[in-house]
Amino acid sequence: MPQLENEHLMHVNQIEPTSEYQKNHPSSPILKNFEEYKTLYNESIENPTEFYGRIARKELDWIKDFDVTKYPLTGFNTSWFLNGEINASYNCVDRHAFKNPDKPAIVYEADEPGEGRIVTYGELLAEVSQLAQVLTELGVKKGDTVAVYLPMIPEAIATILAIVRIGAVHSVVFAGFSSGSLRDRINDADSRVVITTDESKRGGKSIETKKIVDEALKECPNVRNVIVVKRTGNKSVPFIEGRDVWYHEELPKYKTYTPPVPVNSEDTLFLLYTSGSTGKPKGIQHTTAGYLLNALLTTKYTFDVNQQDVFFTAGDIGWITGHTYVVYGPLAVGATTVVFEGTPAYPNFSRYWEIVDKYKVTQFYVAPTALRLLKRAGDHFIEKYDLSSLRVLGSVGEPIAAEVWEWYYEKIGRGRCTIQDTYWQTENGSHLIAPLAGITPMKPGSASLPFFGINPAIVDPVSGQELKGNNVEGVLCIKASWPSMTRSIWKDYSRYLDTYFNPYPGYFFTGDGGARDSDGFYWVLGRVDDVVNVSGHRLSTAEIEAAILENPNVAENAVVGFADELTGQAVAAFVSLKRKDLSEDQISLAKKELTQTVRKEIGPFAAPKLVLIVDDLPKTRSGKIMRRILRKVLAHEEDQLGDISTLSNPEAVTQIISSVQATR
């Protein structure tokens, strides 16, 4: 048996979900036992058409039944539930509103504790219907793209659902992105209408959201209208007559019900931009029925969400986690979703637990970066809250270290809750590998076993051969398509093939390293490409490098990720300036400016934690920058650089080692 590089990780005991979980369940768990998971999983792999056909008819309301499913691996060749007609907003709102109009759909907890409100399914249906008509009046038609630049407020959910109600496509841009990033995403998707807010509130601070939009729109010639939600009511917020309209003034002009527009199963539901290994962000394209079905199923099965549950995903709607597990999943199930505008640290580190206590949250889902912060803040922030409503705790976006997993299990779950370490990506739409609550044995640090219909493969990175059996390590791939798999990159199908299918023919390539341990459990070992993960935010080093190059003083630069206790990874930028004769003061000014450049070009969350000004970057004889060397030096592995004498400038390495050491 080959020696696994990461074997040390995998020697942990399985923790069986307690029988208490099943016994004390308020209704009844969705699956009876692990055996049932295995039976259903096997069917989902051996006979996906039958498995998914049956479940899709049972779980979703169709306007017209589908008649065929083709599931070859790649994008446009795949079609799930073809010729079916459906509407996602109907499935997330109407069908629950008709049965139970007074049931809370959204619990909105504003940035300031004590502010916020509840939106029932009945109210949500009215708001979605009215906004759908506003959009139609503004000329938005089926298939058009609408940009959404909104913070975590209930109007964000109404907006997403109103867009899909008329068969249009939403392109949500995380409200932490700068005007430049927003501009590029609006233009790439050709969005003609933008929905935003006057200002946003986060962590006690106001953010000038509308001003950022106005700045972006200076270079978006095709945008006709901006719908503005009044969040703070600050009178000094600019308003452009003829182009801008107020959300609260337009909606009441329309009827509180408008029928949903039928779309084909394979029609695009949304675009969501994400970072890849090359500079330009990619518009990941998801289709309606397949995405919606997997959002619903994973919410229901991974997290054991029933209609009476209150599901709190502490992620932003600007990322895929918010799309799937704040909006589509919980609402398709008919549960109550918590929309939290603030941060875990405001006004203090108790905020999440206060929300759990206040709304009797049953499932809580967050990225490990927040857990690390809260663990470090101290357990006295947890103790006075009643967390007994919690049944399931989720983790997403980055690996969760065993000690953080155990803290989560003991201190938050108090040994009663199950932990779902969910592995997936923007491109997958929903969980790929995740334990099912109360069913799958848990191993701290492992995402465990695949979801229904997901057929993972560990592939040898060099030969491209699948590594069969257990105790194998390589790159993580998927062997067959699944309903919520991305079908394309917007307007760039060849990049889609090059990124996901051409690296290992016959497989969908995730970009992550992975291993299968002796029990057949999967371990995600981090990205093998130039993507860094800062606080669960996915960033491309190439995109940050391009931003830094915008600064006129920069000759060359290289960006790499390095380990950070709190944020998982952090960004380091090695920069050589055009002028080499700068004083200390000028250098420190240049560093500040470079950080500012990244904040302005991409957004504050991408700002480098470390900027090192160097004379030269290590390069091969053909001029390629050796980022591997930079990564090793940052990881204190300067003794493992290998042979650097073949570089064109080995002396650059010596300077880099001493400037990194000087920062320690």
d(CA 336, CA 340): 13
d(CA 561, CA 606): 11
- Per DSSP, the residues of 342-407 read S-TTSSSTTHHHHHHHHHT-SEEEE-HHHHHHHHHH-THHHHTS--TT--EEEEESS---HHHHHH
Q: Output 422 or 481, the one with its CB closest to ligand WTA.
A: 422
d(CA 146, CA 131): 13
Closest contact distance (angstroms) between CB of 182 and ligand WTA is 18
Q: Output 79 or 298, the one with its CB closest to ligand WTA.
A: 298
Closest contact distance (angstroms) between CB of 403 and ligand WTA is 15
Burial of 235 (0-12, 13-18, 19+ CB in 10 A): exposed
Q: Output 94 or 427, the one with its CB closest to ligand WTA.
A: 427
Kindly list the residues in this chain that would bind ligand WTA in the complex (CB under 6 A): 274, 319-321, 396-399, 421-426, 447, 510-512, 524, 527, 533, 538
Q: Output 353 or 500, the one with its CB closest to ligand WTA.
A: 500
Closest contact distance (angstroms) between CB of 603 and ligand WTA is 14
Cβ proximity of 570 and 607 under 8 Å? no
Amino acid type, 585 = D
Closest contact distance (angstroms) between CB of 396 and ligand WTA is 5
Q: Output 327 or 652, the one with its CB closest to ligand WTA.
A: 327
Q: Output 426 or 595, the one with its CB closest to ligand WTA.
A: 426
Closest contact distance (angstroms) between CB of 530 and ligand WTA is 12
Cβ proximity of 54 and 297 under 8 Å? no
DSSP state at residue 408: I
Closest contact distance (angstroms) between CB of 451 and ligand WTA is 12
Which residues are within 8 A (CB) of 545 and not within 5 positions of it... i.e. 6 or more apart? 279, 557, 558, 559, 573
Token duo for residue 261 = 């527009």
- Side-chain-side CA neighbours of 489 within 13 Å: the count stands at 19
Q: Which residue is nearest to ligand WTA (CB)?
A: 426
Closest contact distance (angstroms) between CB of 367 and ligand WTA is 8
Closest contact distance (angstroms) between CB of 582 and ligand WTA is 37
Q: Output 559 or 594, the one with its CB closest to ligand WTA.
A: 559
Q: Which residue's entry shows tokens 């927040």? A: 370
DSSP state at residue 433: B
d(CA 294, CA 167): 19
Q: Is 593 left (phi over 0), alpha (psi -120 to 50) or beta?
A: alpha
Closest contact distance (angstroms) between CB of 524 and ligand WTA is 4
Q: Output 264 or 486, the one with its CB closest to ligand WTA.
A: 486
Token duo for residue 32 = 């009876």
- Per DSSP, the residues of 193-238 read EEEEES-EEETTEEE-HHHHHHHHHTT-TT--EEEEE-SS--TTS-
How many beta carbons lie within 10 A of that of residue 76, not counting itself? 12
Closest contact distance (angstroms) between CB of 191 and ligand WTA is 21
d(CA 348, CA 354): 10
Q: Output 100 or 425, the one with its CB closest to ligand WTA.
A: 425
Q: Output 109 or 421, the one with its CB closest to ligand WTA.
A: 421
- Per DSSP, the residues of 436-459 read PTTTS-B-TT--BSBPTT--EEEE
Closest contact distance (angstroms) between CB of 395 and ligand WTA is 6
Q: Output 286 or 538, the one with its CB closest to ligand WTA.
A: 538
